[in-house]
Each structure stands twice: as C-alpha cells, then as structure tokens.
Amino acid sequence: MLSGETATSIAFRLLNFCIIISLLSVMYKSFVQSELYKIMETKERQLLELKEQRDYLKNQLKSIEKKLVDQESLAIDLKHKIIRWQEHVTQESHTHTKIHEQHIQNLVQKKNIQSKQFQLDRLQREVFPQAVGDLKVRLEQEFAHDKQQGKEYVRSILMYMQRDVI
C-alpha cells in the first residue's frame, strides 16, 4: 500500500476502477459489440452470397462444358456428313462427265452419219440425175441396134450395184 492512503480510499479507488471497467464493458456491449455483430452478419451474408454465386458458376460451367461436348459431337457429325456429301458430289460429277462424254460421242457419230447421209442425198439429187442422163444417152447410142443386149447390160449393172454398192 501507499503511504498516507487509507483503506477507505483504496476501496473507493478499487470501486471506481470496477465502475469504469463496468462502464467500459457496457459501452463495449452496447456500441462496439453490436457493430461487430452487424459487421459479422454482413460478412456472413457476403460469404453466403459468394458460396451461392460459386455454386451457380459451377453449374453454369458444367452446363457450358456439356454444351461444348454436344457441339463438338455435332461438329464431328457435320464433318462426316460433309465428307460423305463431297464423295457423293465427286461421284455424281464423275458420272455426269461420263454421260456427257458419251453424249458427245453419240453426237459425233450422229453428225458423221448425217454427213454421210447428206452426201448420199446430194449425190442422188445432183450427180445421179446427171449421170443417169448421160448414161442413158450413151447406152442408147451404144445399144441402139440391139435393145435386148442393152437391157441385159443395165440389169447386170443394177444387180452389181445392189450387191456391192448399195
């Protein structure tokens, strides 16, 4: 103890000390503790919101990954379809090319036949009448005295033409 202090003064000091501690405790409980609880509640709400957001983002990530897998599967299917389509188009193109070449060959053959027929028609129209006329005049002159021999000669020529020429 300190000198000159009495027990009463020490008791009052101790009492004052307890009162100050009690006041500080009450003030702490009424102001600081309630603010700390509010801050803790806010932090807990934020933590809960963050957990909910994390769960939501996890679900979205799973959904996006599933969609990505589905899209990759669709892309692979589409790639296979495109490859099959290209093969089909190539085959069809090849078939059309063959058909086109066959048509060209047919047209060339038809043109050759028509050309030959045109030449024959021209011969019949232009050359045969003149040749027959000239031949008739010559034959009449040569076989004027023996008509039967002339008929036999013309018949043999016609038979030869039917057999070998026509």
- What's the confidence (pLDDT) of residue 164? 61
- What's the confidence (pLDDT) of residue 4? 60
Domain definitions of the chain by residue range: 7-165
Please state the rounded mean pLDDT for residues 80-103.
95
Write the DSSP assignment of 73-109 as a string of letters. HHHHHHHHHHHHHHHHHHHHHHHHHHHHHHHHHHHHH
Q: Can you give the pTM of this predicted structure?
A: 0.44
Confidence of residue 148 (pLDDT cuts 50, 70, 90): confident
* Residue 156 or 63, more confident: 63
CA–CA distances in Å: residue 131 to residues 19, 84, 135, 151, 164: 158, 67, 6, 17, 19
- What's the confidence (pLDDT) of residue 92? 94
What single-letter amino acid sits at 40? M
